[in-house]
Homo-oligomer: A and B are copies of this chain.
């Protein structure tokens, strides 16, 4: 069965000077790399209008990069750290839509519309690249190729969401949590980040909200996995010990 992920993927940028490079996704591993290549951003500002590409903006933990209903301006790529996207609800607790790891895109869902359909907030101190998509025509690149890149990007997103829906609806709590852990691990691996041991930057209730479980259930399931020797959890730190066993659980 398809692991629980949700996806949007990032914008290529030059690596920064003198910070923990190992925790930052390389441009070649960033989901927006294809788009950046089309735009010829790989080389330093080669003919790019100023302010069209904002590299490595710092975002503090808890800060939001856009809110629901804000008019659409940019797509963001996570370079470092992590984000959550959610729909604030007047009456009830907010509805979590997804988590975004290094190399992944945020805001792609708004491309077709006028405004962002959700709010995006940093789960930890992070860095993002930003492309002012509305100003793309200025850059003089062939629009056709840019559009093609966007279509492929959205297509992956659609395919992904379909898989996610199919997976989520029928799975037990154990399967969802196992899938969630494997999904995080796979996505980190895909972007060239450490993937056997990593941080759960989101809270248990965020995970529960995302998976449709109570936070207590998430907690219980994690400790059960830990006692069974499948993983090691200490606070927010997770180590995947037996990925095959987790995969087994998902398959029932």
Interface residues of chain A, those whose CB is within 8 Å of chain B, are: 6, 87, 92, 95, 97, 108-113, 117-118, 143-144, 147-148, 150-159, 161-166, 168-170, 210-212, 252
Known: A154-B155, A155-B113. A97 touches B161 (CB 8 A): no
Name A's interface SS: helix
CA distance A200 to B109 in the complex (A): 31
**Could you say which residues of chain B place their CB within 8 Å of the CB of A150?**
151
The residue that A151 contacts in the complex, of B6, B151, B166, B169, with Cβ under 8 A, is: B151
State whether A212 touches B151 (Cβ < 8 A). no
Whether A97 and B165, one on each chain, are in contact in the complex, defined by CB atoms closer than 8 angstroms, is yes
Residues in B neighbouring A117, C-beta threshold 8 A: 159, 162-163
* Alpha-carbon separation in the docked complex, A162 to B117 (Å): 9
Q: Is the CB of A164 within 8 A of B166?
A: no
Q: How far is the CA of A128 from the CA of B87 in the complex (A)?
A: 36
Contact, CB under 8 Å: A162 / B111? no
Whether the pair B161, A165 counts as a contact (CB closer than 8 A) is yes
Report the minimal beta-carbon distance from A67 to chain B, rounded to whole angstroms: 16
Is there an interface contact between A111 and B155, defined as CB atoms closer than 8 Å? Answer: yes
Looking at A92, A148, A151, A155, which has the most chain B CB atoms within 10 Å of its CB?
A155
* Chain B proximity of A116: nearest CB distance (Å): 10
Given A168-B169, A169-B211: A154 touches B158 (CB 8 Å cut-off): yes
Q: Of B112, B159, B170, B212, which contacts A95 at CB under 8 A?
A: B170
Complexed CA–CA distance, A210 and B161 (Å): 14
Q: Which residues of B contact A168 (CB under 8 A)?
A: 165, 168-169, 212
